[in-house]
Structure 1
Amino acid sequence: MSNLDSSLPLAGVRILDLSRVLAGPWCAMVLGDLGAEVIKVEHPKRGDDTRDWGIRVGTTETAYFNSVNRNKRSVCLDLQTAEGQQIARDLARQSDVVIQNFKFGGAEKLGLGYEQLKEGHEDLIYCSISGYDRHGPEAARPGYDVVLQGEAGLMALNGNADQPPLKFGVAAVDLFTGMYSAQAVLAALFQRQETGKGRHVEMALFDCGLMITSYYGLESMLMGEDPPRYGNAHPSIVPYGVFDAQDGPLVIAVGNNGQYERFCREVIERPDLFDDDRYRTNLVRAAHRETLVPELKREIASRPRALLLERLTRAGIPCGEVLGLHRALTSTRASQGGLLTTFEHPEAGSTHVLAPPYRFDGARLPVRSAPPQLGEGTSEVLQSLLGLSAERLSQLKAEGVV
């Protein structure tokens, strides 16, 4: 395809993305960012569900869809038709990796399950993403991020102690599952170089959601109960979190006792808060946070943010402004880093696309193509990969297959 770059790490790898919504498409986009050719299969009329979520961009795209579908081609197939299923199987035979997140058993009903596709294609890497363990009693349960955040204990550890359970601002379980899935696919691709054989990668949202409880999860097991919630504060480090200056919030992360001494002497000019035996080390500070933190908050609130940031920086203490999302995206830091790019759009004029976070040999990996309009690659992909003629494509379009 025209947007391929042979210098990228996954150049020459082809991904057939049969997934939709977030976790599966995120996995495929990560692989596309790294240089793989990604063919996204969508329904001819509806497309991916997320083409109808959030703020519209042109006729067939939304900001939500665009956030997880850069560096892909869109091919429209009605997988409820025998012809559409056969074309998908033909594309799978031309692909290194297949990603799917159909309801349990759905891929098999379409003739697109792992056992069906690997026949004659033993080096196929096939990634199934589901809500729950595909080998357990809940295999058929659908997986939704907000439900999984509740069931994995993430809501219970998020927010302040006096608040009800709170979901993360983004669909964290979906996003982490997509990243974990991409890691597993990369491992399978690496192993295939040695064995010549593919693998069936199986990922569950609940499993990934539980994994990202990380240190909170292990502390909960040691305590035998839920850990307390600290909101923007840290369970073990004081002072650490968001504080209100005279004119706005900032983040202060005092990571060790040396930093704390400089914080007291040089930033808030309260050496007595270091000399006090209750606050000399982090362990005792954490134990006496109820008396210490109100004092720190008063001192911070009495000073302008710019002064505090200047003093904190000079003292070598991690700190930063709390920015709104729009300010963060339009900041000099984001601009200089090339983290947001703009593409021409045939209907909207232009559209913003987030850039991949990866750098190789000092250069950020490029956004090779903007998120696709619905079906923009159907004719080119099916002609170039499967050799379908213009006449056959016209026939399939008239039948509603593509």
Structure 2
Amino acid sequence: MTEQALPGALDGLRVVDLTRVLAGPFCAMLLGDMGADIIKVEQPGRGDDTRAWGPPFVGEESAYFLGANRNKRGMTLNLKHAAGQEILGEMLRSADVVIDNFKLGTMAKFGFDDDWYDANAPQIVRCSILGYGSTGPRAGLPGYDFLLQAESGLMNITGEADGDPMKLGVAIVDLCTGLYALSTIMAAVNARHRTGLGQAVEVSLYDTGVSLLANVAANFLASGQAAGRYGNGHPNIVPYNAYPTGDGMIALSVGNDMQFANFSQAVDHPEWAEDVRFTRNRDRVENRGACDGMIADLFRTNTTEFWLDKLLAAKVSCAPINTVEQALTAAHTVARGLVTTANHTTEGEIRIPGIPFRFSRDPATIRRAPPILGEHTDAVLGELGKSPDEIAALRDAGTI
């Protein structure tokens, strides 16, 4: 962690983060990694739901919360209090971005509708993260990653062909919604350079889930054929799968016919590339079972290490199937800084995920550990001109 870091690419951008759980906090964290000043606003006495999601915990802090809230200042504010809404209004007047994942209409209920923004904070980019969006028959319903993986069709294409539908091992809809939010926010900030005005942007878990069908959706729209499950395989490419070896498994990715010929040569079976069943990718897709079967039979004759060494020497794309522990301790992970440390206010030095992107001129850095609940409330209110006595009165009233 770098306390006195060089300014990041988004230095000077102030973001009010009203979100909780994952999609919104993840988006705001990435903006903070790029140098933005993130003020995370939480409910007094309770905070973000994920503070209680555990074990595991690091002291009193949940690992889940620590994984999505670095590079933020944290304050508490009761938005059901008129005084809390007044303070939020003061914050928004001087902010560049506000992100919320409240139910549809909540911000307007607090008094922050389009007319308020036009009159008081026309510069602000306001991002709403919703479950199902603001239009359509399911508008306004809350959304949850697991349910949206199910409803969007993602689970139906995940898992073994003869098994049950499965979700991914991480909250992929939440995470990608956070990335979409990041992209739309930055586009709106860029548009502000041209217009001088902010605008409302919206993303939803439902839209994200359906969009992640990607090539599978395109396949269905082009052919009308129902999408299936292929386990670790690919609907349009063969061989592209996980194969058993003599002592484990190996992931193999062969993306075109030239690569298949090179692979066949590397495993001492050049005749495979001449077999009419496997010459072209479309032939291999049509003969998926035979192609995958002969590769699996061959790989079972030796160890994972043997095949990795042999294939990588021939520049065939392949990889071991690591455990999470193996991935996080791998030499390349360490070299890329994807596991790092931060100095937490109550827990001292903690290990947290690192930043997955690089800038050549404006470095992305970890300047702050995830905040304890309300850690920077007094500082933020002081910046708004509140005196110590006024802050004490707000605390006594339960507003902060």
TM-score, structure 1 normalization: 0.94
Name 1:172's counterpart in structure 2: 172
- Stretch of structure 1 that moved more, 63-72 or 108-117: 108-117
Name 1:353's counterpart in structure 2: 352
Name 1:236's counterpart in structure 2: 236
- Stretch of structure 1 that moved more, 333-342 or 138-147: 138-147
Name the aligned partner's letter for residue 382 of structure 2: Q
Name 1:278's counterpart in structure 2: 277
Q: Which runs of 5+ in 2 are unaligned?
A: none
Q: Deviations over 1:251-277 (max 9, x none)?
A: 11122222222322322x233333322
Name 2:305's counterpart in structure 1: 306
Residues matched between the structures, number: 399
Asked if 1:398 is matched to 2:377, the reply is: no
Alignment check: 8 A CA contact 1:12 1:36 kept:
yes
User: Map of 1:245-264 to 2, 5 A cutoff?
Assistant: 245-264=245-264
Give, in whole Å, the separation in 2 of the partners of 1:27 and 1:396: 30
Alignment CA distance shift 1:152-1:100 (3 Å): same
User: Map of 1:3-402 to 2, 5 A cutoff?
Assistant: 7-58=7-58, 60-267=60-267, 269-361=268-360, 365-384=364-383, 386-402=384-400
- Stretch of structure 1 that moved more, 51-60 or 38-47: 51-60
Give, in whole Å, the separation in 1 of the partners of 2:248 and 2:114: 54
Q: How far is the alpha carbon of 1:320 from its aligned partner?
A: 1.0
Alignment check: 8 A CA contact 1:357 1:364 kept:
no
Q: Deviations over 1:348-370 (max 9, x none)?
A: 34322212211111886211111
Q: How far is the alpha carbon of 1:398 from its aligned partner?
A: 1.6
Q: How far is the alpha carbon of 1:147 from its aligned partner?
A: 1.3
Q: How far is the alpha carbon of 1:383 from its aligned partner?
A: 0.6
Name the aligned partner's letter for residue 398 of structure 1: D
Give, in whole Å, the separation in 2 of the partners of 1:362 and 1:305: 41
Give the aligned CA root-mean-square deviation in angstroms.
1.8
Q: Deviations over 1:299-326 (max 9, x none)?
A: 0011111111111111111111110011
Give, in whole Å, the separation in 1 of the partners of 2:107 and 2:128: 9
Q: How far is the alpha carbon of 1:210 from its aligned partner?
A: 0.9
Q: How far is the alpha carbon of 1:3 from its aligned partner?
A: 5.7
Give, in whole Å, the separation in 1 of the partners of 2:215 and 2:112: 39
Q: Which runs of 5+ in 1 are unaligned?
A: none
TM-score, structure 2 normalization: 0.95
Alignment check: 8 A CA contact 1:188 1:199 kept:
yes
Give, in whole Å, the separation in 1 of the partners of 2:362 and 2:196: 32
Give, in whole Å, the separation in 2 of the partners of 1:339 and 1:363: 18
Q: Deviations over 1:5-44 (max 9, x none)?
A: 5631111000001111111112211211111100000011
Give, in whole Å, the separation in 2 of the partners of 1:67 and 1:166: 24
Secondary structure, counterpart of 2:46 in structure 1: coil
Q: How far is the alpha carbon of 1:400 from its aligned partner?
A: 1.5
Secondary structure, counterpart of 2:120 in structure 1: coil
Q: How far is the alpha carbon of 1:56 from its aligned partner?
A: 4.6
Looking at both structures, which has the greater relative contact order when contacts are Cα pairs under 8 Å and sequence separation is at least 6? Answer: 2
Alignment CA distance shift 1:113-1:63 (3 Å): farther
Name the aligned partner's letter for residue 154 of structure 1: L
- Stretch of structure 1 that moved more, 238-247 or 190-199: 238-247
Alignment check: 8 A CA contact 1:4 1:11 kept:
no
Give, in whole Å, the separation in 2 of the partners of 1:335 and 1:374: 30
Q: Deviations over 1:317-346 (max 9, x none)?
A: 111111001110111111011111112334
Q: How far is the alpha carbon of 1:126 from its aligned partner?
A: 0.6
Alignment CA distance shift 1:345-1:9 (3 Å): closer
Alignment check: 8 A CA contact 1:4 1:35 kept:
no
Alignment check: 8 A CA contact 2:220 2:226 kept:
yes
Give, in whole Å, the separation in 1 of the partners of 2:239 and 2:171: 29
Alignment CA distance shift 1:177-1:13 (3 Å): same
Alignment CA distance shift 1:56-1:286 (3 Å): closer
| Residue identity (%) | 39
Give, in whole Å, the separation in 1 of the partners of 2:329 and 2:232: 24
Alignment CA distance shift 1:362-1:107 (3 Å): closer
Secondary structure, counterpart of 2:111 in structure 1: coil
Name the aligned partner's letter for residue 390 of structure 2: R
Alignment check: 8 A CA contact 2:242 2:250 kept:
yes
Secondary structure, counterpart of 2:44 in structure 1: coil
Give, in whole Å, the separation in 1 of the partners of 2:118 and 2:54: 37
Name the aligned partner's letter for residue 271 of structure 1: P
Q: How far is the alpha carbon of 1:46 from its aligned partner?
A: 0.6
Give, in whole Å, the separation in 2 of the partners of 1:5 and 1:46: 31
Q: Deviations over 1:100-149 (max 9, x none)?
A: 11111111112234442342221111111111120333222111111111
